[in-house]
Amino acid sequence: MLHGKEPPSPWVVRWSHLVAPNSHVLDVACGHGRHMRYFAQRGCTVWGVDRAAEALASASVWGEAVQADIENGPWPFGPRRFNALVVTNYLWRPLVPTLLASLAPGGVLIYETFALGQHKLGKPSRPEFLLQPGELLSACAALQVVAFEQGLAESPARVVQRIVAVQPPASSEALPYPLAG
């Protein structure tokens, strides 16, 4: 499949209804921008950040594509907050607090990446790139968790952890959906 033409993650699609049209969405480690494309086509204003200039060239069709080394350099968005953050197939633990701080009140985090056990199936196989059991739940303890999954996923076979969580609203206003229970 051509880079930039890959379909969005089924996890992202499944929970995208929580992201209102006209929202400001950031795709972290966006690559060629498959999730930027998806949310732009849903009426959102999108940003993507990645360190690979060649990938960002195709991503920039859908929104603002920012080249930055978010593991070794400053966070390129400063104190800016987004209505939604999408992170797939990427883990840099020191960045997680910055990501959570970048969610606006009521903002949605949709996160899916590799977890412990993936090393038996292929890459990534280094522990620093694999989530420990329940690690996303712990990282998102201050958010309102809507959905969480961990385990073996198929097509292709991989071990993942996934979460959808919401930054609590600034006021006592109700969330626009029921929490999973």
Residue of higher predicted confidence among 1 and 151: 151
Domain range holding 76?
10-166
CATH of the domain at 75: 3.40.50.150
Does residue 34 fall inside a structural domain? Answer: yes
pLDDT at 156: 80
Number of domains in the chain: 1
Kindly tell me if the per-residue pLDDT of 90 is higher than 80. Answer: yes
Does residue 17 fall inside a structural domain? Answer: yes
Does residue 27 fall inside a structural domain? Answer: yes
Q: What percent of the chain is predicted at pLDDT more than 70?
A: 88
Does residue 157 fall inside a structural domain? Answer: yes
What DSSP assignment string belongs to 111-177?
EEEEBTTGGGTSS--SGGGSBPTTHHHHHTTTSEEEEEEEEEETTTTEEEEEEEEEPPPSSSPPPSS
Average pLDDT over residues 23-49: 97
